[in-house]
Amino acid sequence: MPDYLAKLRFDAQQLAVLRALGEYRGKQQLYAAQLPEVLRDLRQMALVASTESSNRLEGVVVPAHRLKSLVLKNATPQSLSEQEVAGYRDALGLIHESGERMPFSEGSILQLHGILYRYTPQPGGGWQATTNDIIECPPDGSPRICSQPVAMTDLIARYRTAQDQHLADPLVLVPLVVLDFLCIHPFLKGNGPMARLLTLQLLYHFDYAVGRFISLERIFEASRARYYEALEASSQGWHNGTHDIAPWLDYFWGALLRAYQEFEERVGAIERGRGAKGERVRAEILKRSLPFSISEIEDACPGISRDMVRVVLRAMKAEGLITPTGKGRAAKWEQLPQAIGQATTAQANSSGGKR
């Protein structure tokens, strides 16, 4: 791997993308510190979307009402498809909970695979065991014959060396490892879902945690043709160390960039919600002494979208000023005691300004 990494060259556009991703990582950390309530909502949505999309990429489909129940309520899986969904839910939960602390090791990889298939009749957690499944793998640029477990041992050792010696930018190292994993194909089943789980885990190692809030799996599924085309193009020649990593790197970086852009759009709306339109919504909410609905605020603030109203509601909820009184379409909101003081102050300031 050191020799292969040393030969890699990137053009100005690729370097600009890497810089942009580094900047987004810094913003992500800032948002995580400042807007924890908003991010909790995003985490829940991402968990459902990631579980659904990763399984759909494998042809596993579960009805929407069952999917949400399985992911969020830990419902008991009732079919093979639901068993696979529940397994991905559990493995993904472990990644999100402790991915940055989990080592990239044979033990952790086998553990994840075991969790992935913990509900199915055929359990996971073991490498391919067939005697005739051998591959050529390029640990140092020179091909040789080895088994999947040996290849994985080599891959893990090369990753640790590259990480410890800072031989490449993390955003080069992570997709390289994912491609190597898929080319080694160490499991009889589940290599695709495992590659997506390992993607998140390795990104966590370098504080690229956008996958916790925006589903990377959903982005992969939305561009599935390019996802598979990039993997296919970059795997050509892998067995003799002549593969071109560029198609996969460009796709991977583009998907990650889209995730960060979407993350900033969703969370940044809170900041935009503090502008003129947001203040109009906020003032209208503070006037309400009785429970109110989103529609009522919309009607009182013409020209302001429902999305903006929701943004302000979430922000004010995070500030402890309002709380929902129900769920679904009939849900209403009401002020908490600390909001009443703000409303009185706002009215006094308004009156003082007129004098």
Tell me the C-alpha to C-alpha distance, in Å, between residue 283 and each of 4, 175, 195, 305, 314.
60, 48, 48, 16, 15
Looking at the fold, whether 252 and 342 belong to one and the same domain comes out as no
Looking at the fold, whether 294 and 201 belong to one and the same domain comes out as no
pLDDT given at position 348: 47
Looking at the fold, whether 202 and 280 belong to one and the same domain comes out as no
Looking at the fold, whether 163 and 111 belong to one and the same domain comes out as yes
Q: Give the number of domains in the chain.
A: 2
Instruction: Say if CB 1 and CB 167 are below 8 A apart.
Output: yes
Tell me how far apart the alpha carbons of residues 100 and 198 are, in angstroms, rounded to a whole number: 11
Coil vs helix vs strand at 145: strand
Tell me the C-alpha to C-alpha distance, in Å, between residue 199 and each of 43, 92, 192, 208, 216.
17, 11, 11, 10, 9
Listing DSSP states for 81-144 in one string gives: HHHHHHHHHHHHHHHHHHTTTS--SHHHHHHHHHHHTTTSSS---S----SS-EEEE-SSSS-E
Looking at the fold, whether 138 and 260 belong to one and the same domain comes out as yes
Instruction: Say if CB 248 and CB 175 are below 8 A apart.
Output: yes
27, 29, 34, 36 alpha-carbon torsion, rounded to 10°: 120
Looking at the fold, whether 216 and 323 belong to one and the same domain comes out as no
- CATH code, 244: 1.10.3290.10
Residue recorded with tokens 């503090």 = 274
pLDDT given at position 270: 53
Residue recorded with tokens 């080694």 = 184
Looking at the fold, whether 189 and 329 belong to one and the same domain comes out as no
Looking at the fold, whether 105 and 207 belong to one and the same domain comes out as yes
> Which residues of the chain fall short of a pLDDT of 70?
1-2, 34-35, 37-38, 130-145, 268-276, 329, 338-355
Instruction: Say if CB 70 and CB 85 are below 8 A apart.
Output: yes
Tell me how far apart the alpha carbons of residues 304 and 311 are, in angstroms, rounded to a whole number: 11
Tell me how far apart the alpha carbons of residues 334 and 323 are, in angstroms, rounded to a whole number: 6
Whole domain around residue 205: which residue ranges?
2-269
The domain boundary, picked from 239, 269, 299, lies at: 269
Tell me how far apart the alpha carbons of residues 232 and 234 are, in angstroms, rounded to a whole number: 6
Looking at the fold, whether 180 and 280 belong to one and the same domain comes out as no
The domain boundary, picked from 242, 269, 296, lies at: 269
pLDDT given at position 154: 92
Inter-helix orientation angle 276-287/306-318, to 10°: 70
pLDDT given at position 265: 82
pLDDT given at position 199: 98
Helix H segments across the chain?
2-7, 12-34, 36-57, 64-73, 80-98, 106-116, 148-164, 170-184, 191-205, 216-222, 224-235, 246-272, 276-287, 294-300, 306-318, 337-354
Amino acid occupying residue 227: Y
Tell me how far apart the alpha carbons of residues 180 and 239 are, in angstroms, rounded to a whole number: 10
pLDDT given at position 351: 45
Share of the chain above pLDDT 70, in %: 86
Residues 6+ apart with CB under 8 A from 269: 307, 308, 311
pLDDT given at position 336: 85
pLDDT given at position 326: 80
The domain boundary, picked from 237, 269, 301, lies at: 269
**Residue 333: which of 274, 286, 299 has the closest Cα?**
286
Token pair of 117 as six digits:
């298939």
Q: How many CB atoms lie within 10 A of CB 232?
A: 11
Looking at the fold, whether 62 and 134 belong to one and the same domain comes out as yes
- CATH code, 331: 1.10.10.10
Looking at the fold, whether 189 and 313 belong to one and the same domain comes out as no
Looking at the fold, whether 285 and 233 belong to one and the same domain comes out as no
293, 298, 301, 303 alpha-carbon torsion, rounded to 10°: 170
